[in-house]
Chain A
Amino acid sequence: MPSILYILLRRLRLPLIALIVVYAIFVVGFVIIPMDGETHGMSFFDAFYFVSYIGTTIGFGEYTPQSSGVFTDAQRAWTLLAIYTTVITWIYGIGSLLTILQDPAFKRLLKHSKFARTVSEVREPFFIVCGYGDTGSQLVQALSGENIRSIVIDINEDRINELEVTDLRVPSLGVVADASRAEVLLDAGIQREWCKGVLALTTAESTNLSVAITAQLLNPKARFIARADSQAMQKNILSFGANEVINPFETFADELALLIKSPSLYILFAWLFAKPGEALTEPVFIKKGHWILCGYGRFGKAVYNQLSQAGVSVRVIEADPNKRDVPSGTVHGSPTEAVNLEKAAVKDAVGIIAGTDNDPNNLSSLMTALELNPDIFTVARQSEHQNAAIFEAAGLDIVLQRGEAVAHKMFALIRTPLLGDFLRIAIRFPDHKANMLVSRIIGAVNEEVPDLWEIRICKEATPALHNKVMTDSVFVADLLRDPRNRQKNLHALPLFLKRGKGNVMLPEDDRLLQGGDIILMCGTDHAEKLMRWTTENVNIIDYVLNGSVESHSYVIRWFRKFFAKYASHSTS
């Protein structure tokens, strides 16, 4: 704040000096000009009083310093001059002050300093979100649903205004600034211990890269997840210690390719990334055959590569006739026209993907395709978040929204960091293994989307479990016991176990737990609460492991020991 005061004063230097000089001249004038019937003028005290009230146009008119009560002509002439000059100087001064206060640069400075002050007062975990676009806004929404505050940096003022009017459960803070500048991230609290992570989601790759560098140098402990549009940049950002880098087009294309290659993996991923509380989506199975891809832009290219790698034959329809390096057999023309769809053999195709960045065109080409071939499987790419209602009403088989896909993935990775490791292994699962995993998850959870959580065996997070692991042998199966009735099992499934650098997929029931292990669990919300209870409460874990409840009062334990000894003595 003091810096703002100094900037204000520096800008007001000229008006202030003008005021001082004008006041000085007129005060001296009234001191020199003799009063009526006297040889000397006013005293400095009287003169300063007089000039002060005429200058601010207060105009009391009560002032009669001379004995006769009348001003001399010389005094009047000087007063006239004084009135006009001081009034003009005041107007100039106040005018300059108002101009500065209205100045957009100064206003931004004021807002920024208020933002920095508010951030420094936050006393709860928060995430810094750079870029409040489609992905950013959905992530902020999801984070606030988990009662996590976000601090948003975006260079576009409209987006920050949008954030300010959005109704969030936890109010978020936003600032209009360039996230690639380190001081902006410092003001956003990157070095504070409450900063749990930094998410770089801007469309400018170079900004995301500099956020990565800043985050790595200023707070290596915070989780860092970035968006990158090219593979080169993805590697570059990863080299700066990013935990996860997500390429929106690839993520999106991967998802689609997965749907065609391995429906059970697709459904598994969809469940793991879904928001808690949603109903389970039914697995879809797609016939083998040839596909039509409309639009060969960045997204289209990524989808084409993925699908042709999987051995699926794809016909591309591209509206731009001048487009270079399109695959052979490409139909040139608008995909909304039935002629072009027929050229691409729509009647024999099993599915059509509308992948241009124009929502109405995508809808229109899918509608036309459905008219020509009612059995065709329709996949739409939705670019604008606000078009969700139209896409839903169109009754398409699958609607992919890039921002949503990325936001879901990022949110899941924020909540359970182990998920990233799990998915990298799971994506190579053969079909039968994926099917088995899906049916096991369905067995564990009932109707709802599985909830994911991590059990970290350490003193801070799970004191009771950590204690037991150090002294006794605890198995994975013990964790799954219901703390209310140990004969029953919780609705949960261990997905992944991380021990140091080693990973175990789907740890077996008889695996021994060790201190420092992190286990990724999947199951119902209720099961998570019960499992956490087991890991934190000494009495409960005793019951879960042995079925007995040992008293934790020192006196009672001492008495028990004493009597046990006494009993053994008397029998021998």
Chain B
Amino acid sequence: MNSEKVIFAFFIVFAMTLNFGFFIGGMEEVSHHSEYELFAAIVVNLIATVLKFGDRTHLGAVFLATSLVADIQLVAAAIIWGLSSHVFNEAGHDWLPVVVSLSGGAFLANITSVILLVSETLSVRR
């Protein structure tokens, strides 16, 4: 067992599960979407991205790309949340569906990452 592989897989799967947790729920229901969960998803996603730096294989490049997609989508969601509630002081939660759908996109990218991880693991028959 390789501890580096454990950490790597842990963060990739964890990023997906956190993202899913945030994404699931009614599109316009604020109580279904915890901001803590979004924050955690962003942090775990960023760490997963940094872990993928420097792998020069083709698979490594695709890993990095999917991670970057998830990062961009999640950070965009967080920026929309922050700006809407602080800078523009919007009363309601009209912006929530945008945030949720952005995280949904990031979730797809996370799934791709996990599929790659599983297929890579299966190709190593040890």
| Distance of A508 Cα from B81 Cα, bound (Å) | 93
* B54:A44 contact, CB within 8 angstroms: no
| Distance of A17 Cα from B52 Cα, bound (Å) | 11
* B50:A20 contact, CB within 8 angstroms: yes
If A21-B47, A27-B39 touch, whether A13 touches B53 (CB-CB below 8 Å) is yes
Residue of A nearest to B45 (CB): A20
If A6-B56, A9-B54 touch, whether A20 touches B47 (CB-CB below 8 Å) is yes
Out of A3, A13, A46, name the residue touching B51 (CB < 8 Å).
A13
Looking at the assembled complex, report how far the CB atom of A423 sits from the nearest CB atom of chain B, in whole angstroms.
Answer: 51
* B51:A24 contact, CB within 8 angstroms: no
* A28:B47 contact, CB within 8 angstroms: no
Query: Taking the complex as formed, is B106 at the interface, i.e. its CB lies under 8 A from any CB of chain A?
Result: no
Contact with B along A192-235 (1 / 0, CB 8 A): 00000000000000000000000000000000000000000000
Query: Taking the complex as formed, is A7 at the interface, i.e. its CB lies under 8 A from any CB of chain B?
Result: yes
If A27-B39, A31-B36, A43-B85 touch, whether A6 touches B47 (CB-CB below 8 Å) is no
Out of B40, B50, B54, B85, name the residue touching A45 (CB < 8 Å).
B85
* A10:B54 contact, CB within 8 angstroms: yes
- Tell me which residues across on chain A come within 8 A of B46, comparing CB atoms: 20
| Distance of A343 Cα from B39 Cα, bound (Å) | 96
| Distance of A45 Cα from B78 Cα, bound (Å) | 9
Query: Taking the complex as formed, is A367 at the interface, i.e. its CB lies under 8 A from any CB of chain B?
Result: no
Contact size class for A? Answer: 20 to 34
* A10:B53 contact, CB within 8 angstroms: yes
Q: Which residues of A contact B (CB under 8 A)?
A: 3, 6-7, 9-13, 16-17, 20-21, 23-24, 27-28, 31, 43-46, 48
| Distance of A21 Cα from B48 Cα, bound (Å) | 12
| Distance of A44 Cα from B74 Cα, bound (Å) | 14
Looking at the assembled complex, report how far the CB atom of B71 sits from the nearest CB atom of chain A, in whole angstroms.
Answer: 11
Residue of A nearest to B87 (CB): A45
Query: Taking the complex as formed, is B26 at the interface, i.e. its CB lies under 8 A from any CB of chain A?
Result: no
* A13:B50 contact, CB within 8 angstroms: yes
Residue of B nearest to A46 (CB): B86
* B53:A6 contact, CB within 8 angstroms: yes
| Distance of A16 Cα from B71 Cα, bound (Å) | 15
- Tell me which residues across on chain A come within 8 A of B82, comparing CB atoms: 43-45, 48
- Tell me which residues across on chain B come within 8 A of A10, comparing CB atoms: 53-54
Query: Taking the complex as formed, is B72 at the interface, i.e. its CB lies under 8 A from any CB of chain A?
Result: no
Looking at the assembled complex, report how far the CB atom of B54 sits from the nearest CB atom of chain A, in whole angstroms.
Answer: 2
- Tell me which residues across on chain B come within 8 A of A48, comparing CB atoms: 82
| Distance of A553 Cα from B86 Cα, bound (Å) | 83
